[in-house]
A and B are shown apart, each in its own frame.
Chain A
Amino acid sequence: MNSPRYLNLFKIALPLPGISSILHRISAVAIFVLSLPMMGILVFSLSSKANYEIIILLFENILFKSLFSLFITAIFYHFVSGLRHLVMDFGYWETLRAGRVSALATFISTGLFFFSFLYLTW
Chain B
Amino acid sequence: MVTKLYKLKKTGIFDYVLVRITAVIQAVYFSVITFYWLVNRDFKYEQLSGFFDILIIEIFTVIVAISIAYHSVQGIWNVATDYLTQAQIGASAKLLRPAVIGFSWFQALGLIFCSFYILG
Interface of A with B (CB < 8 Å)? Answer: 5-6, 25, 28-29, 31-32, 35-36, 39-40, 42-43, 45-46, 49, 52-53, 75, 79, 82-83, 86, 89, 120
Report the bound CA distance from A40 to B115 in whole Å. Answer: 10
Query: CB < 8 Å: which of B24, B45, B75, B118 contacts A42?
Result: B118
Separation of A29 and B77 alpha carbons in the complex (Å): 11
Residues of chain B from 48 to 103 with CB closer than 8 A to chain A in the complex = 48-49, 52, 65, 68, 72, 75-76, 79, 87-88
Question: How many CB-defined contacts (below 8 Å) exist between A and B?
Answer: 57
Cβ–Cβ < 8 Å partners of B110 in chain A: 36, 39
Q: Which residues of A contact B32 (CB under 8 A)?
A: none
CB of A43 within 8 A of CB of B111, answer no
Smallest CB separation, B40 vs chain A (Å)? 13
Partner of A6, one of B45, B79, B88, B115: B88
Residue numbers in A under 8 Å from B107 (CB-CB):
32, 35-36
Jot down 27 A-B pairs with beta carbons below 8 A, ordered by A: A6-B87, A6-B88, A25-B79, A28-B75, A32-B75, A32-B76, A35-B68, A35-B107, A39-B65, A39-B115, A43-B114, A43-B117, A43-B118, A45-B45, A45-B48, A46-B49, A46-B52, A49-B45, A52-B45, A52-B48, A53-B45, A75-B30, A79-B27, A82-B23, A82-B27, A83-B27, A89-B20
Binding site for A on B (CB under 8 A): 20, 23-24, 27, 30, 41, 45, 48-49, 52, 65, 68, 72, 75-76, 79, 87-88, 104, 107, 110-111, 114-115, 117-118
B111 touches which of A6, A35, A82 (Cβ 8 Å): A35
